[in-house]
Amino acid sequence: MLELVAEVGPLRVYDKPAGLSLLADRSGADNLWNQLKQGTEKPYLVHRLDKGTSGTLLIATTQDAQRALTRAFADRRVDKFYLAWVSGEFPGGASLTLDLPMCRGRKSRYRLAGPRDAIIRKGHTYRLVADREGVDAQTRVRRLAYVDNRSLLLVKPLTGRTHQIRVHLSWLGYPLLGEHLYGKPADPAQQASRLMLHCHCLHVPGWGVFRTPAPATFVGSETS
């Protein structure tokens, strides 16, 4: 069920469950938009979360609020924080910045705008030393825990590209658990009951800071 966790004027904050698509898809399953339209307020889309991702989702109830909020996201004034479980031992210590341009890949996938062996680390930043035409994409990552060859990460996307977190981590060799598009989905080390990505917190200037706790379906959520 979709849970309303906060109301601030014409802003509604929901805790989106994993597995619920934002809009109708080919499966014909129920979607978040259908649930929202059954309420007494007309919903306006502000930003998106992938179907497999759980967590903090903002919806406006007026067009003016929608315009203001989407502009804040577009101008990169919204700080977004995700929790992610990945396969492998992600480097610990200070936060790392992944400055890795992206481009569209085959079918519904995205990829880095360059070969994997062109990724280098310089200080606290991973970069591509050679790239094709692609769009700017930066993600900041800090490891919170390492348990049984999987790492819990705090992730802050600095840009908002489609599948950005999923692509960046996979191409570095640390795919999300439960990932079905990137990495090696058939690898037992990557298996999980859901995509292990949770939008934990959004800081929206002028509106507030909104958080949703990681659900029980999020592996190891007791450590977050």
Residues annotated as part of the active site: 50
Tokens, residue 180: 């079905």
Answer for the pair 152, 144: CB distance below 8 angstroms, yes or no.
yes
CA-closest candidate to residue 224, choices 54, 73, 14: 54
**Contacts of 81 by beta carbon, 8 Å cutoff, 6+ apart:** 154, 155, 156, 199, 200, 201, 202, 203
At residue 171, φ and ψ (nearest 5 deg) are -70, -20
Tokens of 99: 């400055």
Asked whether the beta carbons of 110 and 169 are under 8 A apart, the reply is no
Please name the residues in contact with 216: beta carbons below 8 A apart, sequence gap of 6 or more.
Answer: none
Closest of 52, 45, 67 to residue 20, by C-alpha: 52
